[in-house]
Structure 1
Amino acid sequence: MGSLLITNGKIVTPNTIVEGSLAIENGRIAFIGEVPAYFQADHTIDAEGMHVTPGMIETHCDAIEKEMEPRPNTFFPLDMAMKEMERKLAGNGITTIYHSISLSDGSGIRGDEQSIKLMNNIDEHRRSSPSMVRHRIHLRYEVTNRRALPTIQAFIDEKKMDLLSFMDHSPGQGQFKSMDSFHHFTKAFYNITEEEAQRMTEEVLKLKQKVDWDELKQVAQEAYAKGISLASHDDDTVEKIDYMLKDFPVNISEFPITMEAAKHAKDQGLFVSVGAPNIVRGFSHSGNMRAIDAIIAGNANMICSDYHPSALFPAVIEVHRQGIPLPEAMKMVSTYPAESLGIASDRGSIEVGKQADVLLIDLNDTYPAVRQTIVNGNIVYQSQLSMMG
Structure 2
Amino acid sequence: MSKRLLITNVRAVLPDRILDPGWVSVEEGRIAAVGSGTMRKGTRSSTLDGDGAYLLPGLVDIHCDAVEKEVEPRPGVLFPVELACREIERKFAASGIVTIFHSISFSAGEGVRSNELAAEIARQISGMGEGPHLINNLVHLRYEISNDDGLELVKTLLNEGCADLLSLMDHTPGQGQYRTVEQYYQYARKTYHLDELECASLVAQKVEARKNIKVEDLRMLADLAAQRGICIASHDDDTPERVEEMRALGVTLAEFPVNLITAQHARALGMHVCVGAPNLLRGGSHENNLSAREALQRGGAGILCSDYHPPSLLHAVFSLAADGFGLPPAVRLATLHPAAATGLAACLGSIETGKRADLIMVKLIRGCPVVFTVLSGGRAVARYGYNGAPALAEDITWL
Change over 3 Å in CA distance of 1:40–1:351 after alignment to 2? farther
Question: Partner residue of 1:258?
Answer: 259
Q: Give, in whole Å, the separation in 1 of the partners of 2:371 and 2:388.
A: 18
Question: Partner residue of 2:113?
Answer: 110
Q: Give, in whole Å, the separation in 1 of the partners of 2:201 and 2:92.
A: 37
8 A Cα contact 1:236 1:256, kept in partner: yes
Question: Partner residue of 1:80?
Answer: 83
Tell me, what secondary structure is at the counterpart of 1:58?
A: strand
Q: Give, in whole Å, the separation in 2 of the partners of 1:160 and 1:195.
A: 36
Q: 2:99 aligns with which of 96, 102, 118?
A: 96
The one-letter code of the counterpart of 1:332 is: L
Question: Partner residue of 1:272?
Answer: 273
The one-letter code of the counterpart of 2:263 is: A
Question: Partner residue of 2:395?
Answer: none
8 A Cα contact 1:101 1:138, kept in partner: yes
Tell me, what secondary structure is at the counterpart of 1:172?
A: coil
Question: Partner residue of 1:338?
Answer: 339
Superimposed CA distance per residue, residues 346-366 of structure 1 (whole angstroms, 9 cap, x where no aligned partner): 101110011000111113643
8 A Cα contact 2:108 2:150, kept in partner: no
Deviation, structure 1 residue 269: 0.9
- Runs of at least 5 residues in structure 2 that lack an aligned partner in the other structure: 390-399
Superimposed CA distance per residue, residues 2-49 of structure 1 (whole angstroms, 9 cap, x where no aligned partner): 221111111111111123211101000011015887844542121232
Superimposed CA distance per residue, residues 128-155 of structure 1 (whole angstroms, 9 cap, x where no aligned partner): 3211111000000000001111112111
Question: Partner residue of 1:185?
Answer: 187
Q: Give, in whole Å, the separation in 1 of the partners of 2:92 and 2:135.
A: 8
Tell me, what secondary structure is at the counterpart of 1:175?
A: coil
8 A Cα contact 1:73 1:108, kept in partner: no
Superimposed CA distance per residue, residues 323-359 of structure 1 (whole angstroms, 9 cap, x where no aligned partner): 1111110011110011111111110111001100011
Question: Partner residue of 1:45?
Answer: 48
Question: Partner residue of 1:296?
Answer: 297
8 A Cα contact 2:119 2:157, kept in partner: no
Superimposed CA distance per residue, residues 86-111 of structure 1 (whole angstroms, 9 cap, x where no aligned partner): 22111110001000010001157232
1:203 aligns with 2:177: no
Question: Partner residue of 2:156?
Answer: 154
Question: Partner residue of 1:213?
Answer: 215
Question: Partner residue of 1:59?
Answer: 62
Question: Partner residue of 2:393?
Answer: none
8 A Cα contact 1:265 1:272, kept in partner: yes
Change over 3 Å in CA distance of 1:175–1:107 after alignment to 2? closer
Q: Give, in whole Å, the separation in 1 of the partners of 2:242 and 2:383.
A: 45
Tell me, what secondary structure is at the counterpart of 2:166?
A: strand
Q: Give, in whole Å, the separation in 1 of the partners of 2:42 and 2:343.
A: 32
Query: What are the residue-to-residue correspondences of 1:221-370 with 2, within 5 Å?
Result: 221-246=223-248, 248-363=249-364, 365-370=366-371
Q: CA RMSD in A?
A: 1.7
- Give the TM-score normalised by structure 2: 0.93
Superimposed CA distance per residue, residues 178-227 of structure 1 (whole angstroms, 9 cap, x where no aligned partner): 01111221233222221111011111100011100122112201211111
8 A Cα contact 2:26 2:32, kept in partner: yes
8 A Cα contact 1:235 1:257, kept in partner: yes
Change over 3 Å in CA distance of 1:219–1:321 after alignment to 2? same
- Give the TM-score normalised by structure 1: 0.95
Query: What are the residue-to-residue correspondences of 1:119-130 with 2, within 5 Å?
Result: 119-126=122-129, 128-130=130-132
Q: Give, in whole Å, the separation in 2 of the partners of 1:203 and 1:314.
A: 39
Question: Partner residue of 2:392?
Answer: none
Q: Give, in whole Å, the separation in 2 of the partners of 1:41 and 1:317.
A: 35
1:381 aligns with 2:382: yes
The one-letter code of the counterpart of 1:68 is: V
Q: Give, in whole Å, the separation in 2 of the partners of 1:134 and 1:46.
A: 25
Deviation, structure 1 residue 235: 1.0
8 A Cα contact 1:56 1:334, kept in partner: yes
The one-letter code of the counterpart of 1:57 is: V
Counting matched residue pairs gives: 386
Identity %: 37
